Structure 1
Amino acid sequence: MADSFQSSRPSSIPSSIKATRYSIAQIARHLDARIIGDENQIICAINSLADAQPGEISFLSDKRLQQELKSTRASAVLVNEATAEHCPVTAIIVDNPYAAYARTATLLYPQRIHIPGIHPSAIVDDNATIDITAWVGPGTVVEAGAVIEADAQIGPNCVIGKNVQIGKQTTLVASVTINHDCQLGERNLLHPGVVIGSDGFGQANDNGKWLKIPQLGRVIIGDDVEIGANTAIDRGAIKDTIIEDGVRIDNLVQIAHNVRIGADTVIAGQTGISGSTRIGKNCMFGGTVALAGHLTITDHVVLAGRSEVRQSIEEPGMYGSGTPLEPMKKWLKSAARFKQLDEMNKRLSALEKELAQLKNHSA
């Protein structure tokens, strides 16, 4: 287990990323899984079914890839009980192969941990508190009153505002801005370009002139949250903007002031959530979803990509809106007919009246 091994493989994984070696038995124990086959083989990398080589592990979570399973050269494959009998190599049997893949990849490729300390080029206020086990990278600014807890990793060129709190084992990859008074819990991961706690879009109109409304709230982020690159989460106007535990947010997402997102909700890229909307737990939003403000979305709601939500959703389930993809000629015809719907409705109403009159005359 102690050393790293670089496999010669047709893989897109950079050669600089080296896996830690584990036996199949060790991996199975980590997953609390059952093995059919040789448990003593050493695994040195993870790969797709089609590209895997001896010494590598793969997984099958999509039935459409069963043909690739039959021809895989992997030393072991993560499969469920139903698929195990079709596995030509050592099978590691789990309930959820995709989740097992995530845990195995994390085991083989643990997050890089920097040596604790503060880079000489970082600018740290004397009144900031940084745990001795934390790392602060080059060019980072840490302002007065900020607290960075044990084993936190603050990458290059980040800005940590006044009185910010960053919990244990939280990682800011690079160029992340956490504005004043915001709080991050433990084991969070924020990717480059994330901005937490900028002013919400609060403006009041006074006889045609816009007056800025001071944004006095904070952003509070729970534990085990991941936020993708260039996502912005605005501070509340008065109430806090709150992201609960286990939330996953993709790149380029805009979350406005006073929003609350429930635990273990996942939000795909380019989604926009307007102010004061409350989203429940265990929701899933596809890409480019748009939500109006002051809505309530209950738990366990799934929104298809490009959905436009203008009213609250009170029942769990799958929802969608928008125009699905179709061939251009067909779409142009549909668009033309859409513009004619009002006129067609009038004509239909007139025909229905005429039909009713004819029925009355014949009665």
Structure 2
Amino acid sequence: MDLASIVSALGGELHGDAARVVTGLAPLETATSNELSFLSNPKYQQQLADSNAACVIVGVAMRDAAVARGACIVTEQPYLYFAKVTQLWKRQRDLARGKAHGPSQGPWVHASAVVDPAATIDATATIGPLCVVEAGARVGAHSVLKSRVTLGEDCVVGARCVLHAGVVIGADGFGFAQDGERWEKIEQLGAVQIGDDVEIGANTCIDRGALQDTVIEDGVKLDNLIQIGHNVRVGRNTAMAGCVGVAGSATVGPNCTIGGGAIVLGHLTLGPNVHISAATVVSKSILKPGHYTGIFPIDENASWERNAVTLKQLHSLRDRIKNLEKELKK
């Protein structure tokens, strides 16, 4: 694409030859003289000066340095602009590969996919290789199911969603009642409701509800290998990194972030704008917005073991301190 086409589509302030053609997108340090790159953090200014990129997307504060280096596109939010460039680039690539299709063509369903006749697939949706879409399931406009996605019966995927390879929507929730030494299955009678503009990473699983539906609201972004238990509700525009686990009947509010490997225990509530660090175990509800961390720092093993032993004694040490304080007050 030439730079003029990019700026015409996305805006921005272009410095340099508008007719210059770029053939790819790349990081600053590896970009060639035919590729477009971006700089969103001023601390990497030296990489900007050293870059061979044909053009660099920069913020207003970096305008002068970028112009001195060569061609650039100046915008208020360079990282967001770069995200939109990637979308534009993918649309152009898909057109070139003949992947685009419209309502008149009906949904694009791979020959190896299995779609139940009682499922509803929007005319603009894409169903990839080896997918299974069960009875009563629905896939909304412009949504894409990549390879090996399973959409269970009566589950709903909204518009403009992307479900990556191996995603399972609507497997049974983990529900069993103990009967002596054996377990009696609780049939999972709910479904999964996924809103619009949701993206779900590879091999992530979202269980169907026991009685009510599991709900993923609009704009949610889930990374790979996430487990969402039955009857969970995830609020709009919340994002979770890889390997997060959310146990059954938990509620995660809107605009939250949960770092990789974190765990949210069942029946808890996270309010709006709660941000959880990676590897944290959330063992109580958090309603106040803020950033929360519960990670025991890494250390040499011998030191860690000594500290772990001390942690076990904290409760008795607290009681001893309280008793000493009482004695001092006498």
Mark yes or no: TM-score above 0.5: yes
The CA deviation string for residues 241-285 of structure 1, in whole angstroms up to 9 with x for no partner, is 111111100111111111111111101111111112221111111
The equivalent of 1:99 in structure 2 is 80
Distance (Å, rounded) in 2 between the aligned partners of 1:48 and 1:279: 34
The equivalent of 1:286 in structure 2 is 259
- What amino acid does structure 2 have at the position aligned with 1:293? G
**How do 1:5-44 residues align onto structure 2 when only pairs under 5 Å count?**
22-44=1-23
The equivalent of 1:226 in structure 2 is 199
The CA deviation string for residues 190-216 of structure 1, in whole angstroms up to 9 with x for no partner, is 111110011111222344542211111
The answer as to whether partners of 2:120 and 2:137 remain within 8 angstroms in 1 is: yes
**How do 1:315-354 residues align onto structure 2 when only pairs under 5 Å count?**
315-345=288-318, 347-349=320-322, 351-352=324-325
The answer as to whether partners of 1:114 and 1:153 remain within 8 angstroms in 2 is: no
Distance (Å, rounded) in 1 between the aligned partners of 2:171 and 2:289: 32
The answer as to whether partners of 2:274 and 2:287 remain within 8 angstroms in 1 is: no
The answer as to whether partners of 1:131 and 1:148 remain within 8 angstroms in 2 is: no
Structure 1: tracts of 5 or more residues without a match: 1-21, 118-129
Partner SS state of residue 169, structure 1? coil
Identity across matched positions, percent: 41
The equivalent of 2:268 in structure 1 is 295
**How do 1:147-226 residues align onto structure 2 when only pairs under 5 Å count?**
147-226=120-199
Aligned partner of 1:258 among 222, 227, 231: 231
- What amino acid does structure 1 have at the position aligned with 2:262? V
1:77 and 2:56 are equivalent in the alignment: yes
**For the structure 1 residues 265 and 346, does the alpha-carbon distance in structure 2 shift closer, same or farther, using more than 3 Å as the test?**
closer
1:46 and 2:25 are equivalent in the alignment: yes
Q: Which has the larger radius of gyration?
A: 1
The equivalent of 1:63 in structure 2 is 42
Distance (Å, rounded) in 1 between the aligned partners of 2:8 and 2:101: 31
Distance (Å, rounded) in 2 between the aligned partners of 1:347 and 1:279: 39
Cα deviation for residue 289 of structure 1 reads: 1.3
**For the structure 1 residues 224 and 201, does the alpha-carbon distance in structure 2 shift closer, same or farther, using more than 3 Å as the test?**
same
**For the structure 1 residues 327 and 94, does the alpha-carbon distance in structure 2 shift closer, same or farther, using more than 3 Å as the test?**
farther
The equivalent of 1:10 in structure 2 is none
**For the structure 1 residues 261 and 322, does the alpha-carbon distance in structure 2 shift closer, same or farther, using more than 3 Å as the test?**
same
Partner SS state of residue 129, structure 2? coil
Distance (Å, rounded) in 2 between the aligned partners of 1:176 and 1:184: 12
Aligned partner of 1:267 among 220, 225, 240: 240
Distance (Å, rounded) in 1 between the aligned partners of 2:265 and 2:309: 28
Distance (Å, rounded) in 1 between the aligned partners of 2:15 and 2:233: 46
Normalising by structure 1, what TM-score?
0.83
Partner SS state of residue 332, structure 1? helix
Partner SS state of residue 43, structure 1? coil
The answer as to whether partners of 1:162 and 1:181 remain within 8 angstroms in 2 is: yes
Tell me the matched-pair count.
324
Normalising by structure 2, what TM-score?
0.91
- What amino acid does structure 1 have at the position aligned with 2:50? S
Cα deviation for residue 326 of structure 1 reads: 3.4
Cα deviation for residue 152 of structure 1 reads: 1.4
Cα deviation for residue 131 of structure 1 reads: 7.8
- What amino acid does structure 2 have at the position aligned with 1:91? C
Distance (Å, rounded) in 2 between the aligned partners of 1:34 and 1:210: 65
Partner SS state of residue 85, structure 1? helix
- What amino acid does structure 1 have at the position aligned with 2:12? A
Distance (Å, rounded) in 1 between the aligned partners of 2:268 and 2:327: 44
Distance (Å, rounded) in 2 between the aligned partners of 1:334 and 1:166: 52
CA RMSD of aligned residues (A): 2.2
Distance (Å, rounded) in 1 between the aligned partners of 2:256 and 2:316: 40
**For the structure 1 residues 115 and 70, does the alpha-carbon distance in structure 2 shift closer, same or farther, using more than 3 Å as the test?**
closer
Normalized per residue, which structure has more helix? 2
The CA deviation string for residues 217-251 of structure 1, in whole angstroms up to 9 with x for no partner, is 11111111111111110111111111111110011
